[in-house]
Amino acid sequence: MRIWSGVVLSLFSAKLWLWWQWSKMRDDWNAFFPDEFSLQLSNQLVWPDGLPLWHVAAAVNAVLSIGLWFWVRSVDIDLEHGGAVSERQVNNSINTVNSIRTAITCYVLACTVYIVVSTALETKFPIPDIIVAPWSERDELPVSRPLMDPMPANEG
The model's pLDDT over 112-121, given as tens digits with 9 standing for 90+, comes to 999 888 888 8
**What's the pLDDT at 156?**
47
Q: Which of 41, 25, 44 is nearest to 33 (CA)?
A: 41
pLDDT at residue 1 is higher than 70: no
pLDDT at residue 23 is higher than 80: no
DSSP 122-145: HS-PPPPPP-SSTTS-GGGS-S--
Mean pLDDT within 43-60: 86
**What's the pLDDT at 41?**
76
**What's the pLDDT at 144?**
52
Q: Which of 69, 17, 32, 126 is nearest to 41 (CA)?
A: 32
Indicate the DSSP class of residue 21. H
